[in-house]
């Protein structure tokens, strides 16, 4: 069975300084260390005094297989790399979790412990992942500190929303370790390649500007996204469905809205909150998804079809629950509309992006869909992998362009991948403007 080759991680050999501050999410930093090391990175942990209330220094020392710095005044005896301070050794610094107190100190340039001192002394890129109670995070002072850091080129890794340890729910949750690692991996991958698109042409791909601010390169564009699976009813109780959770499509919608687009998200039945600034249209069946998509298509600048649409539905939908009988039950299934194919046939100005969920011959089958359905791009994912495709927080894809480009980002979070896909869409829109 063909599988997409594992790429050597862009983190291989990199020295990552991991700052851990005193938030309940400090326990997640242990997994961040583990995942970074599995990617071949060297991890050097700096713990603030507060962090030591949540996780022991020994845990980090064992996980990183390196000394842990906790106290600036302790005699530094263990860095045998010609006494080069961590600040100079670092290829990147990640502070996760970053508490409100830490953000305030960093924003004011304080240097009263090893972490803040290292931050001031390093020339390496700095990534900060705020994590705290929602009210603290939304407090104007905290937001001012975050913006001050962002304006100085520090990369802010936005917190997730959801249930917090303090019992409340909302923004402020530290992203999962796999996503934090993916942010660093994508950064080094992009830095190593300058572009993410290879093939007949290269396109500068970046969804953030030089000093880390969020780009708004999709402002005044309407982007239509589909997400999730569809339910094809069999009787009032049962349906045919699939394992799509909607994460990929919702990530694309969230990223497009963050970049200024007017986003319409046509969603099958999923358990996800609507991303900020997105207009959501909920559907159940493939036919309903077809009708909702076609209703928006004419005025859309781009369509990104991440939904897992059922190809077939039961020919008969029973009015009452089907009672079980002895022997087998035979179902006749009939074809659903192929929405993407119809969009390709009706395409005028739109940039059309399809997905291909394959378990073998991934690129061959995807290339066939790209051509047969008159697409601009196809995102090919090997859904036989546990860390890609259905329900995973990450995805590993190859993006084929109708102009022969081939984009192969490393395994990354679906949110980071959403920006890579949108970079390709933005590039194609720019090319269209030139024509
Ligand atoms: O939702 P997640 O849990 O995050 O999982 C993400 C995903 C695996 C669903 C996503 O990455 C993905 O691969 N989506 C496409 C799934 C799919 O239906 O692939 P396909 O090869 O069967 O379909 C090819 C393309 O045609 C897709 O863009 C699909 O939206 C579209 N299609 C398919 C059938 C149909 N009747 N109409 C369509 O428009």
Task: Answer yes or no: are the C-beta atoms of 223 and 263 closer than 8 Å.
Answer: yes
Beta strand 155-156 with 126-130 is: parallel
Atom of ligand 1 lying closest to residue 243 CA: 3
Please indicate whether residue 392, judged by its CB atom, sits closer than 6 Å to ligand 1: no
Atom of ligand 1 lying closest to residue 339 CA: 39
Q: How confident is the model at residue 410 (pLDDT cuts 50, 70, 90)?
A: confident
Please indicate whether residue 305, judged by its CB atom, sits closer than 6 Å to ligand 1: yes
Tokens of 64: 């990183």
Rounded Cα–Cα distance for residues 304 and 291 (Å): 16
Q: Does residue 312 register a pLDDT over 70? A: yes
HSE-up (13 A, CA, CB side) for residue 241: 17
Beta strand 394-395 with 377-382 is: unpaired
The tens digit of pLDDT for each residue in 179-188 reads 889 888 878 8
- pTM across the whole model: 0.64
| CA 288 to each of CA 226, 285, 292, 303: distance values in angstroms, whole numbers, following the listed order | 12, 5, 6, 17
Please indicate whether residue 380, judged by its CB atom, sits closer than 6 Å to ligand 1: no
Instruction: Give me ligand 1 centre to Cα 357, in Å.
Output: 6
Counting beta carbons within 10 angstroms of the beta carbon of residue 200, is it exposed (0 to 12), middle (13 to 18) or buried (19 or more)? exposed
Rounded Cα–Cα distance for residues 294 and 289 (Å): 8
Element (H, E) at 32: helix 26-38
Alpha helix stretches (DSSP H) within 139-205: 140-151, 177-193
Strand, helix or coil for residue 147: helix
> Following CA atoms 60, 14, 174, 277 in sequence, which dihedral angle do they give, to the nearest 10 degrees?
180
Strand, helix or coil for residue 115: helix
Q: How confident is the model at residue 210 (pLDDT cuts 50, 70, 90)?
A: very low
Please indicate whether residue 311, judged by its CB atom, sits closer than 6 Å to ligand 1: yes
Best probe residue, ligand 1, of 309, 352, 368 (max atoms within 8 Å of C-beta): 309
Mean pLDDT of 193-203: 35
Q: Does residue 6 register a pLDDT over 70? A: no
Atom of ligand 1 lying closest to residue 378 CA: 28
Mean pLDDT of 7-26: 90
- Which residue's CA lies nearest to atom 11 of ligand 1? 389
Please indicate whether residue 340, judged by its CB atom, sits closer than 6 Å to ligand 1: yes
Rounded Cα–Cα distance for residues 257 and 307 (Å): 18
What Rg, from alpha-carbon coordinates, does the chain have? 24
Rounded Cα–Cα distance for residues 423 and 302 (Å): 12
Element (H, E) at 155: strand 155-156
Catalytic choice (108, 166, 396, 402) = 166
Mean pLDDT of 198-216: 44
Measured in whole angstroms, the distance separating CA 82 from the mean position of its chain's CA atoms is 38
Rounded Cα–Cα distance for residues 81 and 85 (Å): 9
Cis omega (within 30 of 0) on the bond before 97? yes
Of residues 210 and 324, which shows the higher confidence score? 324
Please indicate whether residue 29, judged by its CB atom, sits closer than 6 Å to ligand 1: no
The tens digit of pLDDT for each residue in 113-128 reads 899 989 998 989 999 9
Please indicate whether residue 309, judged by its CB atom, sits closer than 6 Å to ligand 1: yes
- Which residue's CA lies nearest to atom 1 of ligand 1? 246
Per-residue pLDDT, 73: 53
Best probe residue, ligand 1, of 244, 308, 365, 379 (max atoms within 8 Å of C-beta): 308
Task: Answer yes or no: are the C-beta atoms of 259 and 215 closer than 8 Å.
Answer: yes
Rounded Cα–Cα distance for residues 353 and 425 (Å): 8
Q: Does residue 198 register a pLDDT over 90? A: no
Task: Answer yes or no: are the C-beta atoms of 306 and 378 closer than 8 Å.
Answer: no
- Which residue's CA lies nearest to atom 23 of ligand 1? 356
Among residues 247, 289, 251, the alpha carbon closest in space to that of 268 is found at 289
Instruction: Give me ligand 1 centre to Cα 406, in Å.
Output: 19
Please indicate whether residue 285, judged by its CB atom, sits closer than 6 Å to ligand 1: no
Strand, helix or coil for residue 303: strand
Rounded Cα–Cα distance for residues 382 and 388 (Å): 7
Per-residue pLDDT, 84: 55
Rounded Cα–Cα distance for residues 398 and 345 (Å): 24
Task: Answer yes or no: are the C-beta atoms of 244 and 324 closer than 8 Å.
Answer: no
Q: Does residue 385 register a pLDDT over 90? A: no
Rounded Cα–Cα distance for residues 21 and 99 (Å): 6
Among residues 423, 426, 380, 237, the alpha carbon closest in space to that of 314 is found at 237
- Tell me, yes or no, if 166 is annotated catalytic: yes
């Amino acid at each position: 069975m063909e599988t997409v080759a594992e790429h050597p991680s862009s983190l291989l050999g990199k020295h990552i300084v991991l700052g851990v501050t005193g938030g309940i999410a400090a326990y997640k930093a242990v997994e961040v260390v583990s995942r970074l090391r599995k990617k071949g990175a060297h991890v050097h942990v700096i713990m603030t005094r507060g962090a030591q209330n949540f996780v022991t220094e020994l845990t980090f020392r064992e996980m990183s297989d390196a000394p842990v710095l906790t106290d600036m005044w302790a005699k530094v005896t263990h860095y045998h790399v010609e006494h080069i301070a961590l600040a100079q050794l670092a290829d990147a610094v990640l502070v996760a979790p970053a508490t409100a107190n830490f953000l305030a100190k960093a924003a004011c340039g304080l240097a009263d412990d090893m972490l803040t001192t290292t931050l001031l002394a390093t020339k390496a890129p700095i990534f900060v992942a705020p994590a705290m109670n929602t009210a603290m995070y939304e407090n104007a002072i905290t937001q001012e500190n975050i913006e001050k850091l962002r304006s100085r080129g520090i990369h802010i890794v936005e917190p997730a929303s959801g249930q917090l340890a303090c019992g409340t729910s909302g923004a402020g949750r530290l992203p999962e370790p796999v996503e934090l690692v993916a942010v660093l991996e994508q950064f080094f991958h992009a830095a190593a390649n300058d572009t993410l698109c290879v093939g007949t042409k290269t396109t500068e791909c970046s969804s953030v500007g030089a000093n880390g601010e969020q780009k708004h390169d999709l402002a005044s564009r309407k982007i239509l996204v589909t997400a999730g699976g569809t339910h094809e009813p069999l009787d009032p109780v049962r349906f045919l469905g699939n394992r799509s959770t909607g994460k990929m499509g919702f990530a694309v919608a969230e990223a497009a809205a963050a970049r200024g687009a007017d986003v319409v998200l046509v969603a099958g039945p999923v358990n996800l909150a609507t991303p900020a600034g997105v207009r959501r249209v909920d559907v159940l069946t493939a036919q309903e998804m077809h009708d909702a998509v076609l209703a928006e298509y004419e005025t859309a600048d781009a369509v990104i079809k991440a939904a897992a649409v059922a190809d077939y539905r039961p020919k008969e939908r029973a009015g009452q629950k089907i009672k079980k009988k002895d022997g087998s039950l035979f179902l006749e299934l009939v074809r659903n509309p192929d929405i993407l194919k119809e969009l390709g046939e009706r395409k005028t100005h739109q940039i059309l992006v399809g997905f291909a969920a394959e378990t073998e011959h991934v690129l061959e089958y995807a290339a066939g869909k790209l051509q047969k359905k008159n697409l601009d791009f196809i995102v090919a994912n090997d859904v036989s992998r546990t860390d890609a495709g259905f329900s995973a927080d990450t995805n590993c894809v190859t993006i084929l362009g109708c102009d022969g480009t081939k984009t192969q980002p490393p395994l990354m979070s679906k949110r980071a991948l959403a920006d890579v896909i949108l970079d390709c869409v933005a590039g194609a829109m720019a090319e269209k403007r030139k024509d």
